[in-house]
Structure formats: C-alpha cells, structure tokens
Homo-oligomer: A and B are copies of this chain.
Amino acid sequence: MQIMKKNKLQIGMIGCGVIGSNIFDIISKRHADVYKDHLVVKSIIVRDIEKKRDLNLLGTKISNDISDVVKDNEIDLVIELMGGEEIAFDYISKCLMSGKHVVTANKEVIAKRGSELFKIANNNSVELRYEASVGGGIPIISSLGNDFSSNKISGIRAIINGTTNYILTRMSDGTSPFSEILKDAQKLGYAETDPTADVEAFDPIYKIIILSNLAFGINPDHNLIYREGIKDIKSKEFIYAKELGFAIKLIASAQKFSKKLLIRVHPALIPKDIPMANVNSSLNMIEVNGYLTGPLWFQGAGAGAETTSSAILNDVFRIKDEISKSEKQKTKIFPEDLQLLSMDMHECKYYLRITVKDKAGVLARLSKILGDNGISINTVLQKDTDVKFNNAELVIMTHKANEKIMMNAIDNIEKLNDVVKFDSLLRVEEY
C-alpha cells in the first residue's frame, strides 16, 4: 500500500489530446489557486513531443518515454488518456506494478482487460478508477459501486453514445440521410474521422460491459454481445416512427432473466412520452432497475472535455482521500453467477417496413406468415404507393414476439414473390 508522505499528489499524465489539455489547463491555470495545494502534474507522456501544443508547461516535463513516469518514484498517480487496448494495457499495468494509482477514461481497455488490470492493482495495493469511461460526468460508476449494496439489480438500459445520439437526433425530422449528418458531425467534432467505434456501436458495447460488470459481476467477451449500429437507418424511418408515436435511439441494455443476462446494443423505437425518448443530442441517460428502488434514471452530458475532466478529477480526489487507508472490500450481499443470454431469447414489439407489389392478397399472405409463427399485428400503415412500378410500402407494428421466431418469419416473408424488398426492422423498447 502506497502511503502518502506529503499532502500534494504528484501526477503523471499519459496522452495530451483534448481532455488531457483541458485537465492540465484546469489544474495549472484556470483553477491553479485551489489546485496548487492538492495536485501537481509532474510529467506528461505523448506520442509526438515535437507537436505544437498550446500549453504553458512551467515545471511539467513532457516526454515520449513511458519509463519517465513508471520509474519516477515521486509520481503517486497516473491519468491515462491515450485510449485503445494493447499499448494502454501495457502502460497501465506497468504503472500499477510500480505502485502508482491509475485513473483512466479508457472504456475499451477496461471492458476487454479490466479483470486483469484490477488483479494487478489489487496485488500492488493501488487503486484503478474509471468513472470517466461511461457517461461522461454522470457519476454512474460511483453509484453502481456504492449505492446498490442492498439491491439486486434487474436491468440497466442506457443511451451511452453521444455521437450516435447526436446523429439520430439530427435525423429525427426525417429530412437528411445518415451519411450527410455524419459528415456534419465530423466537421463539428462530434464524430471521429474514423467513426467506426461509434456508428458501428463498439463504444456502447464496451460501456455496457463495464456497467454489467458492476451491476451483475459478469465479465463477458464483447464478441458475444449483440451489436447493431446506426449506419443503415433510413431517414424515412423517423417520419413513420413519429407518426406512430416513437423516437429512434441507440439503446444499450443488460437485462436479467432468472439466471441469465441479455446484453444487447441496437437502435430501438421508444414511445415519445418516455423520458428516454427525449434524451437528445449528446446527452446520455442510464436507467438502473433495482429491486427495492424501482427504476432510477441518471442523465447528463455524456461527452465533452469539461464533463470528462470532472469525472477524472473526481476519481483523483477519491484516491487522494483514501490513499492512507487500507484497501476496501465492498459488501456484495447478493452474489450472483450469471451467464449471457442469447439475443434469440429477446422479446419485444417490432416495426417492419416492406416494399411489396401493390396487388390484392399481399397483406393476407404476409399476415399468414406472421400468424403461422404466432406473431400478431398491431398496426399496418400503407405508404408511398409507387404507381410506375406498381409497388406499395407496408409499415407493420407487431405485438410482442420472440426474436428468433421473428427472424424465421422474416426469412419466409423475404421469399414471397410479392415482396419486392424487406426494407427495415426496428425493435420497440418496452417500458
């Protein structure tokens, strides 16, 4: 156990992009008057030391050699902000093994290698904190870790990717396609040059794994989790969804069914009058369902330099507060041994859009397939009849059905001669 001999924490920082610069600015400039008694940034490790940075470094060393932090015995705590898996894992584990506490915003390394890292931290009697990895400044990691010891959690459901929520919000009026809004989002800095992690929903997968670990003690392989991004959603879906009373959001969910846990990430329709339907732009919302508390909702800005800095600095202060005390064992009075539940077992209502030949009996044949599979129809809208090709569009809202059975029914629907194109399937989120 690292015992602080002084009152002031010496910090090493790995990575100095938008968030790193912002934290450095808060500590060393904007609030130097209050921070100077608590923290000092001794070294910053960056990939390219030649790069122009708008920082007044004063006494802070800048280097591209991780050993300048690892081997510096005066450094108590390291803030890791480089992201990614392999190198981050290497650097974080080296810092932990040299007796330094680590605070990170890196969801990927925590989701994929967290259990190894926590073991290393524990063996070296140091702390590894990661509040900033999920939900920006929303204190969801702290809350799940501290405030649910008397609760079984039955489910977590969240909007936890700011980029996709921004894009979906912009698409909600149905006038602009995904590709156009993605370009806008990139120009405005809401989406990365390579947007894969967000639009293909890897980012929310990592985040829901982290939340599931805290809530359910499960440590699933991210490759086993159902993942569906937003890049295939058409703008007209938003118009019809609205007509039916729904918004479209990218949902990350982990839900318990007896001894099984279903984790899934996909776009979903949410009834307009549900709070989550109105979580717009880069806001995040996490819903936690405790068996004593009922549903609790945590909402706030899920991304941005300031709010992420808040989460990181708060972790730094938590460690500073605890640093002279022995390691804590959190009481977990409901030990659980959960396994992943297959997406096949998911049940919900479905929204289907299908282009069909505009002739008698099509809807009947289509309904028969659904009916034969035990799926009943709630609403049918006939849309956009295309006189030239003699096509019509059907928008179907089903009653609750099972995922595997629905997929089977869709296979059969696609084989119908009168079906020109199966355009869309969206799941309706249940509240």
Contacts and interface: CB of A to CB of B under 8 A. Distances in A.
Interface of A: 26, 34-35, 37-38, 131, 136-139, 142-143, 146-151, 273, 275, 278, 290, 292-301, 304, 306-307, 309-310, 313-314, 316-318, 320-322, 325-326, 328-331, 333-334
A217 to B, nearest CB: 14
Given A149-B314, A330-B321, A137 B296 contact: yes
Given A142-B143, A317-B149, A306 B293 contact: yes
Given A292-B306, A299-B297, A306-B294, A146 B139 contact: yes
A146 B137 contact: no
A296 B273 CA distance: 20
Given A150-B314, A297-B300, A292 B321 contact: no
A310 B148 CA distance: 8
22 contacts: A26-B292, A37-B333, A136-B293, A137-B293, A137-B296, A142-B143, A142-B146, A142-B147, A143-B143, A143-B147, A149-B318, A150-B314, A150-B316, A151-B314, A293-B307, A294-B304, A294-B306, A294-B307, A296-B299, A298-B299, A317-B333, A325-B328
Nearest to A325: B325
A150 B317 contact: yes
Contacts of A26: 292
Nearest to A142: B147
